Amino acid sequence: MYCSYIWEYIEGSLLSEYSTEFRKLQVTGGSTVIVSLPKNWIKENQLKKGDLVSIEELSSGDLRLSSNQSRVTKRIANIDCCEHKEGLKDLMIGAYLSGADIIRVFCNDKISRKTRSDIREFLRDTRGMEIEIDGENEVRIISILNPAELRLQVSVNRMYILISSLVNDSLDVLLGEPIDLLSDIEERERQIDARRLLLERQVAASLQFPSVERKLEVDRFTAMEHANIARILERMGDHATRLANLVNDNLKAIKIKPNEMPLSSIPMWAKELKIIVHNMYTKDLKIIHSAKIRLVELRKNIEDEEDELWTGKGSAERLLCEFRISESIRRLCAYSVNFAEILLNMLMHNQLDTI
């Protein structure tokens, strides 16, 4: 979104407009069906008799014709950090999500320390990007990760593990385990966010390139639903982080017993979420739907307990802290329900038949 105006193509050409032509199929040799190609396209790609072209079948059933004579096209985002002193990281993230192979940050003056700090933060918050050139007036960042090499499920599973560990460690601290279990809350949150960005970058690549789509073994609908899952998991990660920080900062003030709501709901939430994630690709609709129903009921029980919380006695500080804990757990349940619903949508899409 941010970098639509700074894209340039290198080692290739960018078509200005798409046009549609209709041509009749012809039969030659009695059984071979052929179709003629536009003369202008032949000239632009410098093709001649005997040259090879590639034909890819898209998930929609359409065919894409490409010239094997053209050189590999890489996409570069040029960002003038002198002009964009504020929001530089947002621009770099936008380029990353859009699938930039190269992100070039430049300035007529010497690149400032703040800009270099923003670049380091960008590299820390993303995956598969490394600095190729680090000069006084230019920093050139390149992608070293092929988006088709890592299955989308890998990032989903990694986000799930990080979220579960944050919530379970928070509960363990309340049960008496050392508070050091929560010493890396910020790092785990950063890893969750980085995985979401990586997955969305892969989804964007699969929508643009049929070869990536095939290697990832997803169609367009499934790819977009994976992006939705990543966003839901990121929101779950936000509340898991919030819960961990509440426990870390207010341990002595928290008087909720582990066998009381809402803390007693954490093991139940963890069990149902595990069922959903483990059945993500087994196509077992009944199991996922049953887990969803139990999570809906669990969320309702937490809401009922929240209503009771405000009628009890206790300091305002304690009540607020306990309510915020309850709210985070309730939202974890709510987002898990959304997760299950997206999986059901994906599985039903895979079962569609054509007539």
Closest CA to 333 of 288, 281, 268: 268
Closest CA to 322 of 270, 246, 244, 238: 246
Query: Same domain for 134 and 165?
Result: no
CA distance 12 to 252: 62
CA distance 276 to 270: 10
- Give me the number of domains the chain comprises: 2
What pLDDT score does 317 carry? 65
What pLDDT score does 272 carry? 94
Residues belonging to the chain: 355
Q: What is the CATH number of the domain that holds 248?
A: 1.20.58.220
Residue 54 lies in a domain: no
Query: Same domain for 299 and 262?
Result: yes
Q: Tell me, what DSSP letter sits at residue 128?
A: S
CA distance 9 to 16: 12
* Separation of first and last alpha carbons in the chain: 38
Token pair of 13 as six digits: 């050409």
Which single residue is written with the structure tokens 């309510």? 323
Low-confidence ranges of the chain (pLDDT < 70): 1-19, 58-60, 68-72, 283, 309-317, 352-355
Mention every residue, 6+ apart, whose C-beta is less than 8 A from residue 213: 58, 59, 206, 207, 219, 220, 223
User: What does pTM read for this prediction?
Assistant: 0.79
Of 82, 114, 145, which residue constitutes the final position of a domain? 145
CA distance 139 to 177: 45
CA distance 150 to 25: 40
Query: Same domain for 171 and 123?
Result: no
Closest CA to 216 of 231, 198, 203: 203
For 258, the domain range is: 152-350
Of 95, 128, 145, which residue constitutes the final position of a domain? 145
CA distance 56 to 213: 11
Closest CA to 14 of 74, 79, 80: 74
Of 122, 145, 168, which residue constitutes the final position of a domain? 145
Query: Same domain for 314 and 253?
Result: yes
Kindly state the helix (H) or strand (E) to which residue 39 belongs, with its residue range: helix 39-44
Query: Same domain for 170 and 220?
Result: yes
Query: Same domain for 132 and 225?
Result: no
Query: Same domain for 114 and 248?
Result: no
